[in-house]
Structure 1
C-alpha cells in the first residue's frame, strides 16, 4: 500500500456523509453527535465559538473528514494542520509517524498534502460543517472557528504558495473549490431537509481570519517578530505565536521529567540554548501585543509547540521525535504560568500540550482558552472523547474578556508536579498485544482473556457485566466454571489480565481481580446453596494429587466436579500451600483460602493432611491410576556472600505467618531481591514490633525489578526503603557491604543489565533475608523416576503435562518453576482435561451483549470527577465489540460495515497515510492498515499494495479483483466461487450494495 492519502472530492464527501447517516445513523463512524447551546458562546477574533475546545494542528485536522468528525463530537475551535513551503511528497515524513500508547510521540510536523490540496480540504471541511450544523441542528452555523497554522520561516511564508493559501483562507469565494462546494451542495440538495438553495448561497467564504505561527527550533527572535509583524500588519490577521517548553530552561525541564519518572526520555540542552530565550520573548511579545492593539487585532501565544526528545528505543524511525500528551502537561502549564506572570494575566493563551478530560476544566477556569487536544484523541475512544470534554466545559461560565487567574494557574503547576496522573509508573508498561495475528473477519476479542492475558481463558467480560448489573451469583457461576479458587485469585492473583485491558488506554486498567473478589464475597453462600453434588462417573478411575496448594486444590475441584474420584495428599496440617503457610496474613486471610478448599470438598474431592503422600508404587497398589504432582517449588535459592549468612525468605515468611509478633531479627532488616517474595518479606518485616527500618537491596533499579508494579507500590506505601543498584558482597558486624552497580544495555528479557563499578558502600543490617528465588526440587523427581532436563525442569508433554511415567503428571510450580496461582489452575485444567473431559460452559459466547449500543456508548467516555463508574461498569466489553482501530484512526480509514447483521472492519486504502496508530492499539500483534481486508479505489492502488483486499471493477456487474494471500483473482460476486471464503464474498457484496459511498472518488 501507499502512504499517500487521496482526498475525497466534495461531491463524494457529501454523498458519503448523508448516505452513511441515512443507512447507519452515523457519520464517519461517529455515533453520538454533540448538540451545542446556540445561545451560549465565546467571542474570539470577532467570531463566535460554542465550545472552547477542538483538535490541535495535527492528524485530526489534516483532512475534511477529520474536521467533520471533530465537529460532530463537540469541537468548535479548529487549529488546522500547519502548512509550509515544503509539502507533499517533498516532505520527509518517516512512517509510521505516531506512537501514542502512553505519552505521545510523533515525527511529523506539517500537512502531508500539497498546500493547494490542504487549502481544498479546509474549505471543504468548513463548507460541510456549515451544512451539517444547520441540517442536524447541532448549533449555530456561525458557532465555530477555523484557525490557520503556518510555518516555518519568513522566506517561505512570503512565497506565492503560502501567500495564496493565506489569502484564499481569508476569502475563498473566487476559488475553484468554493464553486465545487456550492455545486455539490446543490446536487445533493434532495438529501437535506433543512438546507435550501438560499442557505447554500449565503454560506460565508471567510474560512479563517486568524493564524497561529509555528517556527522551527532555533529560529531567532527577530525572525519570529518579523513573521508575526507581517501577519498582523500586512495580512491583518489575528495572530498567535507558538511557544516552546524550552522557555523553561534545560535544568527545569530535565529535573521535572526526572522527578515525574520520565527519566528515560533522552534530550540535551541544544534546543534550550538555540531556541527563543524567555528574556527575549517577553519584550518581543509586548511589542507584538501593542502592534495588534493598534490594528484592532487579537494577539496571543499558543502553548506549546513541540518538545524534541531523542529516539533511543526504536519508538519511531529516525533520530529525534516530538513528545506530547500527559508528560508534556507539566512543562506546558509551567510555560503558561511563567508567561502569564510576565503579563499580569492579560496574555491570551491558546493551549495544547497534554490537555484532556482530566485538566480541561481547571485550565478553562484559570482563564486559558481555546484549548486544543491531540494525543488523547489518538487513543481508543478517539474523536468521541471530545464529546465528554465539550459537555464538561459547556456548563461553565464563559468569560467575556481575557483574564488569567494566576493563583489557579499556580495550583495547576503544583498539581502537575504532584498528581499521579502526570507521573510515569514505576515500571514501564509491558505489551498489551495478543500473540495472534488479526483475522480478516470477526476480529473482536477481549485481550484480557486471550493468550498472555488469562491463562485459564476466564470469561472476564461476562462476569464483569453481571457484577455491573448486581447479579453476583451469575458472576460467580461464570467465575467458578473455569476458576476453582475465586477467593485466592480474587485476592492475590498476579492478574495478567489487567496488563491486556483496553481500559488501560483510558484512565487505567480495570481492577478485574477486585471485581472477582467482590462477586465471591457477595455470592459465595448463595453459590454453595445452589450447587449440586456431582454424579460419580461409572467405572471412573482414581486420581491421587500430591500437594494441597493452589494447583492441587484446583485439580481436586475440577476432577471431582466431573465425577472423578480424587484424593489430595498434603503433608502439612493446613491446606493452601504458600497461600496458607507463606503469604502474609495481611495479604490473604486464612478464611479466604479455606472457602476455596470448601468448594473443592463440596464437589467431592477428598483431602488427607498432616502426612506425607504414599510412593508412586504404593498409590498404584491402592488403585490410583493417575498421579498428579503439585508439590510446588520449595527448594531454597542461595545468596552467595564472601562473609556472613542470610535467612531464607520462605523460612522467614513461614515463621512470621505462625507468629507475626515475634522479633528475633533486630531493629534493621535488609531484604535482598526484587521480586514479589522480596516485597512480602519487606512488608511483613515492617509490621514486626521493634523493627525500625526495612530496606530492599537490589542490583537494578525499581523500574527493572521483576516484582509486579502493584507490589512495588504497596512496599513504598509501607515505607520500605529501596536501596537500588547495590549488589551484596558480605555481611559482617551488622554491616552489609554492597558493590555499587550501574545499568548497562538491555538483556534478552528487556531489562537493563547491571554492571559493576568497583565502588562499594555499607548498609546497616541486623538481619539479612535472601529472597533470590525458589527452585523445583529436581532431586526428588529424579528419585521417583521422573526425567528432568539439563536445567532441572521436568520433561513432559506440553499438551497434557504427562511425564515419562505413564499417567503421572506434574503441575504448578513443580512444572513451570515459581509460577502464578492462575498458571497453576491452568496446569490443573490441562491435566484434568487429559484424564477426563472438563465441561466448561463457555459463558462468554453464550452471554454476548447483542445490543452493541451498550458497549459502544462507553467508547470515549473516561472516568473523571464528572463521570463516575464502578470497576465492573468500566468494562468496554471487547468480546462484544472492539473497533479500537476505527476509534484511533484520525483519517477514518478503518470503517465498520454490517455484513449479515455482524460488524466487520474494512480498511480503505486511499484514506490511510500509514501513521501506524491503529497498530499501537489493535489487541492483536498486527497492523490493521496492513492486515485487515482492504478496499482499493483504483487498480493502480491495488497493484501498489500487498494487502489482502479488493478493487471493484464494475459495481453493477459485481465484478471485483481480489487478493488473497499472494493470489489475485477476478471474480463475479453473483456467481459461485470456491476459491474465496463466503464471508469475504458477503463482505464485498455488502460494500457494493450498502456502502457504495465508500467507492466514489
Structure 2
C-alpha cells in the first residue's frame, strides 16, 4: 500500500541509473544541467577524509533510501548525515508526517525502514556514489563522507541489531549486501566506460568513521555523556552530539518566535524544563571534548535538533510535532553563537537548522561546517537547491581552513537573525497558494498566477516577452484581457503573486512591476497601430460609470465593433482611481494612457452629466444594453461614541487630499481605523499633510491578518506610521481615543485565531482627528428605483454566469455588484457581462495573440531556473530570470518528493503537455509533501496515475493506476480507474470496454516501452 516503501535491489537501482541517464540525460529526475562537478579547487579534511564541499542532506527524508542519497550527491551534496536508526524499527507512523508549507513540521524521527533495510540502503548508495563519481567525472579520489546517525538511548544503541548496524558501516566487507553490490557491478562492467573491475575492487568497505548521536527530548545529561563516551571509546567513532534549541530557555525561544511573527506557535514549558539545561550542557560538552581528545577522536555538536511544539492547528496527526526550517534558523544560530563563545571558538559545530542559500555562505564563513539541510530540499526545486549552495561555497574553500570559529562574526549573525526579513513570518504570510481546483489525472501543468488572476492574465508569457525586450507584444498580450495595464501595473493587489510558486522559494515575482514595464515600453508602438472596429451590430450600449468596471466594459464591447457610450457625473474618467487613490501610488499620466487606450476602440465618453439615470429612459434613447458600474460611493459608519467630534471617512479625506488638500488642518496627531489598503492610503496621505506629527493605525487583529496588501503596510510603516494592533475603538472625546484591548484566542480547528476582549483593559491614544477606513457601501436606492432587485442581505440579484440583473439586458459589475472590491475584479465583471452581450449579438471577443516558442528552448531555460533562490530584481525587466513558467513545466510534485516517487514521463500525442506525471507506489511513504506544494487542491500521491509493483499493494490502494500482470510479447495489465478494475492487454485498448482507459493508454504504453526500468 502507499505508505510501505519497497527498497529496490541494487541491480535494479543500477539499471535505472544507467538507462535513465542514457535515454533522457537525467538520473532519478535530476537533469544533467543540475549535476555538480567539483572543479580543481581545494578540498576540506574531516575525520581524516576528503570532502569536496561541506554541505549535504541532514538526517531525514533525504537520506532514507539509496535513490535519495544519489539525487543529493548529483546536485552537490557531499556530507551525508544518514537517517537515524533505533532499535524500535517497526513503528506505526501516522501519515502525512511532514508539513513544509512555510516553517516545517514533522511527526516522525527515525528511518521507516528496519535497521537491516536501512543498512542495505546505505551500502547500495555508497557503491552508486563511487560509480557515479568515476563514470561522470573520471574521479578516483572519493570526495564525499557518510555520517551515521543513531539513537535514542544506550540500551538501544548496544542492542545486537543496532550494534551490527554500527559495526557494518565501520567495515562492511563481510556483509552480504556489500558483497552483492560489488558482484553486481562486476557483472555489469560492460555498461560502463570508465569503471572497471580494479576500480570496483578498490571501493572501500569502511563506510563511516563518524556518528551523530540523536537523543530523545528529556534525555538526562548522564545518559548523553555515557552514550558519547561509548561511541568515542568503544566504537572508536568521531562523534557529534545533537543538541536541542530548548537549551536557549523557554522565554528566549517564545519571545524570539513572537518577535518574528510566529506568535501562533504554541510551546510547552515542560519541553524546556525537562530537557538538558544550558549550564549542564556546557559542563557535559567540556568533559566530552577533553575525553575525545584523549581517545584520539574528534568531538563536536550538531546544532540543532528540531523544536517540539503543540499541534494546535491539526495539520499533522498527534498532539505534538517538531519545528524546523526558517523559523528555527535564528534560534539555532543563537545557540551556536553562545556555545562558540563559551569555548572561545574551539568547538566543532555541525549545523542543521534552517539552512538555505540565503544563510549557508555566512554560516560557513563563521567557521561552522559541515552544514546539512532538509527543509529547503522539501520545497519546490528539491534536491537541485543543493547545486546553488555547492557553487556559492566553491570559491570560499581554501587549502588551509581555520578550524576555529570566528566568534565575533557569528555573534553578529546571531544578533541580526531574528530581524532579517528572510526569517520573518510576513515574508511568506499566512495565505495558502492552493487553487480551488481538483487535480486532474493527466495534463495538470498549470500557471497558478494565471488561474489566481480574476481575469486570467497570461502572466508567464508576458513576463517572458518583456525579458526578451518585446514590449509591444507583451502589451498586446496584456490588453487582450486587461484594458488598464498602467493602472493595474501601478496598484493591482496582485492576486497572481499570492499564488506564485516563487513564494515557496524566496518571494513572488514582481508581476505588477513587469506589467507596468510592458505598458511603458509597448504603449506608444501599440497605439500607433491600434484601429477601431466598425459597426458589427447596430445595438448600442450605455455604460453608467467611468470607473475601472465601466471603462473595461466599454473597451471589450467597442473593440468588437459595438457602439458604446460611457456616462459619468465627474469631469474626468477613472472613478476612485482618478479621484481617491493618492498620487504617490499612481500618477495622472498612467490613468490618462489607459483611458486613451479605451477611447481608441471608439468608445464615447460623456462626462460631467447628471448622476441620476433611468434604465427606462436610456432604453427609449435607443440603448439596447445597459451596464451599471456606479461603484460604492458611500462610507460605512463607524460605531464609535464621541463627544461631538466628527469622524472623517477615509474616502472623503483621500478625495480632499488628492484635490490638493495637503494644507488641510488635521492637527498634530491622526488616528486611522482599519486594516485594508484604504487605511494604508489614508495613513500615508495624512503623514504628508502639513502640521501632522504622528499617524497611528488602529487594527482589531494582528498585522498577520490584515487585509491590506503587504507592500502597502510596509510602505506605511516605513514612512513613519505606527501600527497599534489588537485594539477596538469604543469612544473619542476630549482628544482621546479610548480602545478596548483584544487578544488572540486559542486556534480554531482551521488554524484561525479569533480576537476576544481583555476584560477591563483599555488603551488611550491622543487623537486630534480620527479617520475611519472601515469600508464603503453601495447606493442601493438608485438601483431599486430602476427595478433592480436586491436581496435581504443587501446583494444585487444577478445571473452568476452573465452578471445580468432581473431587468432584461441590464448588467452590473464592479463595486456596485460586489461591494468594495479591486480593480482587477471590476475588470473581470466587465468581461463577463461583455461576453454575454456579445453572445446575444452573435459576436465574440477576439482570441488572445499567440507567441509560440520552441519547446526545447523553453524547457532548457526553465530547467536552469529550478532550485535557484533569488530575491526580486531591482529592474522589473529582469524578473523573467525568476519566473518559473509553471504552465510550461510544473513538475513540482517530482521535485519535492524525497523518494523520487513522482516521475515525469514524456508522452507523444494526445495530451496538452508533453510530460505526464506517474506516481510509483513502491517508492512512496505518503509523507504528504507533494500534496503540500501541488498548486491544485489535491494530492499527487493519491490523485495521479499510479504504477504498482505488487498485487497486494494494488489491492490495498484506491488510486487510479496500473499493475503489470504479465510481460512478454503481449503484456497484460490490471487497471483501476475511478474505482473500476479490469484487466487489459497493452496491444488491445478496446478489450477494456472503457473509453477512459483509452485516454490513459498512451501513458501506460510509454512507461512500459520507454521507462521499463521503473517496473
Q: How many angstroms apart in 1 are the aligned matches of 2:139 and 2:325?
A: 29
Partner of 2:805: 803
Alpha-carbon distance, 1:257 to partner: 1.2
Which position in structure 2 is the counterpart of 1:351? Answer: 351
Q: Counterpart in 1 of 2:935?
A: 923
Distance in 1 (alpha carbons) for counterparts of 2:540 and 2:139: 73
3-state SS, counterpart of residue 727 of structure 1: strand
User: Do the aligned partners of residues 857 and 108 (structure 1) sit closer, same or farther apart at CA in structure 2, a change above 3 Å counting?
Assistant: same
Report what 1:859 is aligned to. 866
Aligned residues: 994
Q: Rate the CA distance shift 1:10–1:599 in 2: closer, same or farther, 3 A.
A: same
Q: State the Cα distance separating 1:835 from its structure 2 match.
A: 1.1
Structure-2 change in CA distance of 1:371 and 1:70 (3 Å): same
Kept in 1: contact 2:476–2:849 (CA 8 A): no
Distance 1:189-1:218 versus aligned 2 partners, 3 A rule: same
Q: How far has the Cα of 1:751 moved from its partner? A: 5.0
Contact residue 665 and residue 691 of structure 2 kept, 8 A: no
Equivalent in the alignment of 2:117: 117
Q: Hey, what's the Cα distance between the residues in 1 that align with 2:195 and 2:570? A: 81
Name the structure 2 match of 1:904.
916
Q: Distance in 2 between matches of 1:441 and 1:161?
A: 45
- Displacement after TM superposition at 1:890 (Å): 0.2
Give the superposition deviation at 1:867: 13
Question: In structure 2, the residue corresponding to 1:769 is in which secondary structure?
Answer: strand
Q: Which residue of 2 aligns with 1:631?
A: 630
What is the aligned partner in structure 2 of residue 875 from structure 1? 883
Q: In structure 2, what is the Cα distance between the partners aligned to 1:844 and 1:333?
A: 50
How many angstroms apart in 2 are the aligned matches of 1:457 and 1:504?
Answer: 19
Correspondence for 1:289: 289
Q: How does 1:324-723 map to 2 (within 5 A)?
A: 324-398=324-398, 399-425=400-426, 428-450=429-451, 453-537=452-536, 539-612=537-610, 614-643=613-642, 644=644, 645-723=646-724
* Aligned counterparts of 1:140 and 1:95: Cα–Cα separation in 2: 42
What residue in structure 2 maps to residue 993 of structure 1? 1009
Q: Is the 8 A contact 2:313 2:750 kept in 1?
A: no
Task: Measure how far apart 1:417 and its partner are.
Answer: 2.5
Instruction: Kindly report the root-mean-square deviation, in angstroms, between the aligned alpha carbons of the 2 structures.
Output: 1.8
The secondary structure found in structure 2 opposite 1:242 is: strand
* 1:36 corresponds to which of 27, 35, 38: 38
1:426/1:703 contact within 8 Å kept: no
Given the alignment, which residue of 946, 959, 980 partners 1:967?
Answer: 980
Q: Which moved more, 1:965-974 or 1:724-733?
A: 724-733
> Structure 2: any 5+ residue segments left out of the alignment?
none
Q: Confirm or deny: 8 A CA contact 1:261 1:426 kept in the other structure.
A: no
Aligned equivalent of 1:82, options 62, 81, 84: 84
Stretch deviating more after TM superposition (615-624 or 843-852)? 843-852
What is the CA distance between 1:744 and its match in structure 2?
A: 2.8
1:814 alignment partner in structure 2: 816
Helix, strand or coil: the match of 1:946?
coil
Query: Secondary structure at the residue paired with 1:82?
Result: coil
Counterparts in 2 of 1:57 and 1:45: CA distance versus 1, 3 Å: same
Per the alignment, in what secondary structure is the counterpart of residue 759 of structure 1?
strand
Inter-partner Cα distance in structure 2 for 1:547 and 1:582: 15
Give the alignment's TM-score, normalised by structure 2: 0.96
The 1:848–1:290 alpha-carbon spacing in structure 2 relative to 1, beyond 3 Å, is: same
Match of 1:766? 768
Aligned to 1:223: 223
Q: CA deviation at 1:401?
A: 4.7
Alignment of 1:746-765 (within 5 A): 752-756=753-757, 757-765=759-767
Query: Cα 1:151–1:981, aligned 2, differ >3 Å: closer, same or farther?
Result: same
Of the three residues 987, 993, 998, the one matched with 1:982 is: 998
What is the CA–CA distance in structure 1 between the aligned matches of 2:749 and 2:239, rounded to whole Å? 52
Q: Is the 8 A contact 1:665 1:767 kept in 2?
A: yes
Contact 1:462 1:844 in 2 (8 A): no
CA–CA distance in structure 1, aligned partners of residues 165 and 433 of structure 2: 43
User: Using the alignment, how far apart are the partners of 1:727 and 1:627 within structure 2?
Assistant: 42
Q: 1:862 offset after TM fit, Å?
A: 1.5
Secondary structure at 1:280 match in 2: helix
TM-score scaled to structure 1, two decimals?
A: 0.97
Among 789, 814, 833, which residue is 1:831 paired with?
833
Contact 2:948 2:961 in 1 (8 A): yes
**C-alpha distance in 2 between matches for 1:872 and 1:961:** 45
Q: What is the CA-CA distance between 1:760 and the residue it aligns to? A: 2.8
Contact 1:675–1:708 (8 Å) recurs in 2: yes
Q: Partner of 1:326: helix, strand, or coil?
A: coil
Q: Secondary structure, in 3 states, of the residue corresponding to 2:506?
A: coil
Q: Provide closer, same or farther for how the CA distance between residues 849 and 831 of structure 1 changes in structure 2, counting only shifts above 3 A.
A: farther
Q: Does 480-489 or 91-100 show the bigger shift?
A: 91-100
- CA apart distance, 1:73: 0.6
Give 3-state SS (helix, strand or coil) of 2:637's partner: coil
- Offset of 1:268 from its aligned partner? 2.8
Contact 2:312-2:747 at 8 Å conserved across structures: no
Instruction: Give deviations 1:939-968, integer Å, cap 9, x for gaps.
Output: 111101000000011232221100000100
Where does residue 102 of structure 1 map in the other structure?
A: 102
Contact kept? 1:704, 1:752, Cα under 8 Å:
no
Instruction: Say whether the 8 Å CA contact 1:307–1:322 is kept in structure 2.
Output: yes
**2:250–2:269 CA contact under 8 A, matched in 1:** yes
Could you tell me whether the CA contact under 8 Å between 1:37 and 1:50 is conserved in 2?
A: no
Unpaired segments ≥5 residues, structure 1:
none
- Once the two structures are TM-superposed, the CA of residue 139 in structure 1 deviates from its matched residue by 4.5
| Partners of 2:94 and 2:801 in 1: CA distance | 44
Secondary structure of the corresponding residue to residue 752 of structure 1:
coil
C-alpha distance in 2 between matches for 1:587 and 1:235: 67
CA contact (8 A) 1:329 1:355 kept: yes
Alpha carbons of 1:127 and 1:717: their partners in 2 closer, same or farther (altered >3 Å)?
Answer: same
